[in-house]
Amino acid sequence: MRKPRNSADFAEFSTVKAFSEEETQYDRHKGYGDVDVALIFPSDYDQTVGNLGYHKVFQILNTVEGVNCERFYYDPSFTKFYSLDSFRPIDEFSIWAFSIHFELDIFNIVEMLRKKGIPLRSVERRGEHPFILTCGSLTYFNACPLWELADIILYGDAEDPLPTLVKTIVPAVVKGKRRQEVLETLSEMETVALPPLEKEHRTLSVFSSLSRFPSRSSFVHPKGPFGRKALIEVGRGCLRRCSFCVTGFTRSPARFLPFDILKKEIEDLIDKEQAACGKAPAFGFISATPTDYPHLPELLAFLERSSLDFGFSSIRLESISDALLSGLRRGDQQSITIAPEAATERIRWVLNKGITDGQLADALERIARAGFREVKCYCLFGIEEETEEDLLAFARLVEEWRKLGFYKIHMSFNPLIPKPNTPFESRVLESEGTLRRKKKLLENALRGLCQTQFESLRNSQLQSLLAKGDRSLSKHLVSGHSGQTIQKQLLQNVRTQTRTKDKGSSHATIR
Ligand code: SF4
């Protein structure tokens, strides 16, 4: 490990090293290999800790012979980008694999390449430049904005194609073949697109059996979104079909980890944590809807017998049981997170959320009876069918919940962003003016009743643009301007378009 001499580089190096030293690492990089792969999460460290897809790719790549994979994350202040594993700078890595899960993180990829002097357009890269591989959740519904930027795009689940992909190109990279020849070695892969060769993918990779390679944390750190919990994926895809959500429509079929395999993973992580810290970890069970896990009663009984603390990534309100609530309370958890999305049954019906007013009220009563005093609630607004009455109903809900004894209620609002491959794909994000008016109405109605948080309208507009953007959008991204400038240009276009659309709109009900 070489410590940098320059003070700015040393500060960056120290930040990365501090995160790394506070981690408990269950899997290690190899430290040697014919090819070094940088696995980059193009967002901050906290997000990196909580993303099991990223952990999984790290494990997969380090099982491939000849490959040494190390972890990186994005920070806007970074210029060197040091590995969380060996602390080497990223320039020493010949494949840069971006695990991308959120639309806005594409701007961070652009910034990172710009800072490192890598040509943004894949066709302009030469022998001395790294190969830019992209994979992750974004590829399930729209990877078009990545088209000009990426050398390789892997579509769908990484478990099966990623080892094949890397095994195929490593010998060509080692032999120093020309970029085009290296990429041509992948031309037969059905789930891979090669933009510089204009080669499209033909299908989305679906990993049919989670038990063959269960997903669980490779490392934990207190800054993760689930705290220091060791995470295990109990299911992939979703049995539900909420009209706004890509998960239900793009990750079919829903698959679940058999209980005996899950138990083995839990026991394995207990052994690893015991060896590292001398105590059992708390667990976080991850899936689109962990409460739909078919072996939930057995899991809860096992966790109780073993006195293990746990949390779930989300909870379906109609699936709440007293056993689940008492299990969650065992670790003295005060707060519970729910996602009814809308305050009225009418709008939940529009969203195909499938939760009645009675189920919502019953769930909150049970939660209160179990001793929870804080509730965090995810909500949507900006739905064309919603009226002022539907929005004011949030305040009535909060008042009812306060009567049940909840003293801290946090309402988090996101505008409805129509996504491709969902029943809402032909909708548009409501105009800035309409969203601002709806936000104001909600703020006024909820003032003094609870905490509120609203996703920035600017980010929502950008997200909406990227979610449905085509390859022409990709050309903007590689224009060479800074991320800030590109965002301004894109927003300018959105505003012009929505102003034009608003003139003929019959949907916006709040004026
Ligand atoms: S919102 Fe939740 S329950 Fe609905 S489809 Fe998406 S993941 Fe499933």
Q: How far apart are CA 390 and CA 438, in angstroms?
A: 11
* pLDDT attached to residue 504: 42
Categorize the per-residue pLDDT at 333 as very low, low, confident or very high, splitting at 50, 70 and 90.
confident
Which of 153, 173, 197 is where one domain is finished?
197
Classify residue 16: in a domain, yes or no: yes
**Among the listed residues 212, 223, 295, 309, the one whose alpha carbon sits nearest the alpha carbon of residue 259:** 295
CA separation for the pair 52, 57 (Å, rounded): 9
Cβ(233)–Cβ(215) below 8 Å: yes
CATH of the domain at 142: 3.40.50.280
First to last CA, the chain: 61
Mean pLDDT on 76-80: 97
**What pLDDT is attached to residue 506?**
31
Q: What's the sign of the alpha-carbon dihedral 377, 383, 387, 388?
A: positive
User: Would residue 236 be called left, alpha or beta, if left means φ above 0 and alpha means ψ between -120 and 50 degrees?
Assistant: beta
Predicted TM-score (pTM) of this structure: 0.94
Residue 364 reports pLDDT greater than 50? yes
Q: Which amino acid is at 223?
A: K
Residue 307 CB coordination number (10 Å): 9
Work out the average pLDDT over 23-51.
95
> Is 289 touching ligand 1 by the criterion CB < 6 Å?
yes
Nearest residue (CA) to ligand 1, atom 3: 240
CA-246 nearest atom, ligand 1: 6
260 belongs to a structural domain? no
Averaged pLDDT, 251-268: 95
Ligand 1 atom closest to 353 (CA): 4
pLDDT at 314: 82
Instruction: Look up residue 139 and give its two tokens.
Output: 């590829």
For ligand 1, say whether the CB of 315 is within 6 Å of any of its atoms: no
Q: Would you mind telling me the total number of residues written for the chain in this entry?
A: 511
Q: Residue 492: inside a domain, yes or no?
A: yes
DSSP string, 340-388: EE-SSHHHHHHTT----HHHHHHHHHHHHHTT--EEEEEEEE--TT--H
Sheet of 230-233, strand order: 230-233, 283-286, 310-312
For residue 425, the CA-to-ligand 1 centroid distance in Å is 16
What pLDDT does residue 481 have?
85
Question: How far does residue 334's CA lie from ligand 1's centre (Å)?
Answer: 24
Nearest to 126 by CA among 184, 185, 178: 178
- Reported as a single tens digit per residue, the pLDDT across 108-118 is 999 999 999 99
* Cα separation, 104 vs 467, whole angstroms: 9
- Residues 457 and 73: their CA atoms lie apart, in Å, by 26
Residue 456 pLDDT greater than 60, yes or no: yes
For 190-194, what is the mean pLDDT?
A: 97
Across residues 237-257, what is the average pLDDT? 93
Is there a domain that residue 242 lies in? no
Using DSSP's 3-state secondary structure scheme, residue 70 falls into: strand
Q: CA 45 to CA 363: how far, in whole Å?
A: 34
Q: What is the pLDDT of residue 482?
A: 81
pLDDT tier at 436, thresholds 50, 70, 90? very high
Question: From atom 6 of ligand 1, which residue's Cα is the shortest distance away?
Answer: 245
Domain closes at, from 167, 197, 227: 197
The CATH code of the domain that includes 469 is 3.30.750.200
Residue environment code for 461-481, b if the CB has 16+ CB neighbours within 10 A, otherwise e: bbbbbbbbbeeebbebbbeeb
Tell me whether strands 255-256 and 67-73 are parallel, antiparallel or unpaired: unpaired
Given a cut of 80, whether residue 401 has pLDDT beyond it is: yes
pLDDT reported for residue 1? 63
Q: State residue 483's pLDDT score.
A: 81
- Ligand 1 in contact with 288 (CB < 6 A)? yes
Ligand 1 atom at minimum distance from 341 CA: 1
- In this prediction, residue 507 has a pLDDT band, given cuts at 50, 70 and 90, of very low
Q: 111-140, pLDDT tens digit by residue?
A: 999 999 999 999 999 999 999 999 999 999
Q: Which domain does 467 fall in, by range?
A: 333-362+369-511
The strand ranges marked E within 100-209 are 131-135, 152-154, 192-193
Q: Please tell me if the CB atom of residue 254 comes closer than 6 angstroms to any atom of ligand 1.
A: no
Average pLDDT score over the chain: 93
Q: Is the pLDDT of residue 198 over 60?
A: yes
Ligand 1 atom at minimum distance from 352 CA: 4
Q: Is residue 22 part of a domain?
A: yes
Q: In which band, very low, low, confident or very high, does the pLDDT at 501 lie, cut at 50, 70 and 90?
A: low
- Taking each helix axis from N to C end, the angle separating 388-403 and 432-446, rounded to the nearest 10 degrees, works out to 30
Count up the domains in the chain and report the number. 2
In Å, what is the CA distance from 409 to each residue of 311, 364, 448, 456?
19, 12, 11, 20
Pairwise CA distance, residues 314 & 331, whole Å: 17
Q: Choose one of 234, 236, 239, 240 to mutate for the ligand 1 pocket test, by most ligand atoms within 8 angstroms of C-beta.
A: 240
Mean pLDDT across 242-266 = 95
Does residue 245's CB lie within 6 angstroms of at least one atom of ligand 1? Answer: yes
- Give the list of residues 6+ apart from residue 509 with CB closer than 8 angstroms, or none: 384, 385, 386, 387, 388
Ligand 1: does its nearest atom lie under 6 Å from the Cβ of 364?
no
Calculate mean pLDDT across residues 4-22: 94
How far, in Å, CA of 167 to CA of 429, rounded? Answer: 42
* Distance from C-alpha of 132 to C-alpha of 114, rounded to nearest angstrom: 13
Fill in the DSSP letter of residue 205. B
| Per-residue pLDDT, 431 | 94
- The dihedral formed by the CA atoms of 350, 354, 358 and 364, expressed in degrees to the nearest 10: -110
Domain boundary among 143, 177, 197: 197
Distance CA 327, CA 3 (A): 47
Lowest mean pLDDT among 214-228, 260-274, 396-410, 483-497: 483-497
Sheet strands (E) in 416-507: 451-454
- Does residue 443 belong to any structural domain of this protein? yes
Question: How many CA atoms within 13 Å lie on the side-chain side of 273?
Answer: 21
Identify the bridge partners of residue 59 per DSSP, sorted by sequence position: none
261 within some domain = no
The three-state secondary structure class of 91 is: helix
Q: Is 56 domain-assigned?
A: yes
Radius of gyration of the chain (CA): 24
Q: Give residue 208's pLDDT band: very low, low, confident or very high (50, 70, 90).
A: confident
245, 359, 414: which to mutate for ligand 1, most atoms within 8 A of CB? Answer: 245
Q: How far apart are CA 506 and CA 498, in angstroms?
A: 13
